[in-house]
C-alpha cells in the first residue's frame, strides 16, 4: 500500500484518513500507522500547498541559477551547497550533472532583490566560479499540475 498511498497524498495531501482508507481498501488504523512510519523515516518530508502566485496580488519573482563551484577536498559539494541552502530565500538546491554543478532556485519579491542576492551573497562565495541567472517568465506546469483552467467534460452522449 505504501507506494499507492504516497501517490494519492502527493496529489492530494488534504484527503481525509477515512476516505484514504476506503479508496486504498485498508483499515483506517493502518493508514495512520503507515503515515506515521513514513514521516518517521523521512519519506514524507512535509505537506505543502501548490500555489499559483501569479493569480494573487503578491509579486514574486523566481529565478533558476546555474552555479559552477570548486569542490573541496573531503567535502565535495556538500559544504558549499550548505552555505547556499541556508539562505531562506533559496527554495531548492540540486547537485546537477553536466555543464554546471548546482542548480539553485530562488524566490524574491523583485528582480532587484534576486539580482542583489546573486551579486552580494552568491557570487562572492570563495568556491563559486561563476553563475548564470534565468528568470522565470511564466509557469505553465508545476509539480505535475498544469496551471490552466480545467476544461469541461467534453465527452458527448453516445450509444451504445
Partner 1 sequence: MRNPLADKVVEIKPSGIRKFFDIVSEMKDAISLGVGEPDFDTPWHIRDEGIYSLERGRTFYTSNAGLKELRQEICAYMKRKNHIEYDWAKEVLITVGGSEAIDMGLRAMINPGEEVLIPQPSYVSYEPCAILAGAKPVIIDLKAENEFRLTAQELEDAITDKTKVLILPFPNNPTGAIMEREDLEAIAEVILKHDIFVMSDEIYAELSYKEKHVSIASLPGMQERTVLINGFSKAYAMTGWRLGYACGPADIIGQMTKIHQFAIMCAPTTSQYAAVEALKNGDPDIEEMRVAYNQRRRYLMNAFREMGLECFEPYGAFYVFPYIGEFGMTSEEFAQRFLEEERVAVVPGTAFGNSGEGFVRISYAYSLENLKVAIGRLERFVNKLRAQKG
93 burial class (0-12, 13-18, 19+ CB within 10 angstroms)?
buried
Show the beta-strand stretches assigned E in 8-89. 61-69
Report if residue 159 touches partner 1, rule: CB under 8 A. Answer: yes
Q: Which stretch binds partner 1 (CB under 8 A): 23-31, 85-93, 97-105, 141-149?
A: 23-31
Report if residue 25 touches partner 1, rule: CB under 8 A. Answer: yes
Indicate which single residue of 2, 10, 22, 147 sits in contact with partner 1 (rule: CB under 8 A): 22
Report if residue 23 touches partner 1, rule: CB under 8 A. Answer: yes
Bridge partner list, 62: 107
Report the alpha-carbon distance of residue 91 to residue 85 in Å, rounded: 8
Report if residue 30 touches partner 1, rule: CB under 8 A. Answer: no
Size of the site for partner 1 (CB under 8 A): 14
Cβ distance to partner 1 smaller for residue 2 or 112: 2
Those residues with Cβ within 8 angstroms of residue 89's Cβ, 6 or more apart along the chain or in another chain: 106, 107, 108, 117
Cβ distance to partner 1 smaller for residue 78 or 142: 142
Q: Which stretch binds partner 1 (CB under 8 A): 2-10, 38-46, 62-70, 110-118?
A: 2-10
Which three cell numbers mark 137?
517568465
Report if residue 123 touches partner 1, rule: CB under 8 A. Answer: no
Buried b (16+ CB within 10 A) or exposed e, 101-119: bbebebbbeeeeebeebbe
Report if residue 24 touches partner 1, rule: CB under 8 A. Answer: yes
Indicate which single residue of 4, 10, 78, 142 sits in contact with partner 1 (rule: CB under 8 A): 4
Q: Quick one: which H or E segment has residue 128? A: strand 128-135
* Contacting residues toward partner 1, per CB under 8 A: 4, 7-8, 19, 22-25, 153, 155, 157-160
Amino acid at each position: 500500500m505504501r507506494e499507492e498511498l504516497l501517490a494519492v497524498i502527493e496529489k492530494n495531501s488534504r484527503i481525509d484518513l477515512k476516505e484514504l482508507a476506503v479508496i486504498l481498501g485498508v483499515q483506517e488504523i493502518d493508514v495512520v500507522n503507515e503515515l506515521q512510519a513514513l514521516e518517521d523515516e523521512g519519506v514524507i518530508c512535509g505537506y505543502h500547498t501548490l500555489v499559483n502566485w501569479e493569480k494573487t496580488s503578491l509579486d514574486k519573482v523566481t529565478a533558476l541559477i546555474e552555479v559552477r563551484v570548486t569542490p573541496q577536498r573531503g567535502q565535495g559539494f556538500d559544504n558549499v551547497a550548505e552555505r547556499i541552502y541556508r539562505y531562506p530565500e533559496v527554495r531548492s538546491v540540486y547537485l546537477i550533472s553536466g555543464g554546471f554543478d548546482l542548480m539553485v532556485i530562488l524566490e524574491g519579491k523583485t528582480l532587484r532583490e534576486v539580482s542583489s542576492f546573486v551579486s552580494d551573497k552568491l557570487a562572492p562565495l570563495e568556491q563559486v566560479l561563476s553563475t548564470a541567472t534565468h528568470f522565470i517568465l511564466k509557469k505553465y506546469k508545476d509539480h505535475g499540475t498544469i496551471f490552466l483552467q480545467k476544461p469541461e467534460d467534453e465527452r458527448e452522449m453516445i450509444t451504445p
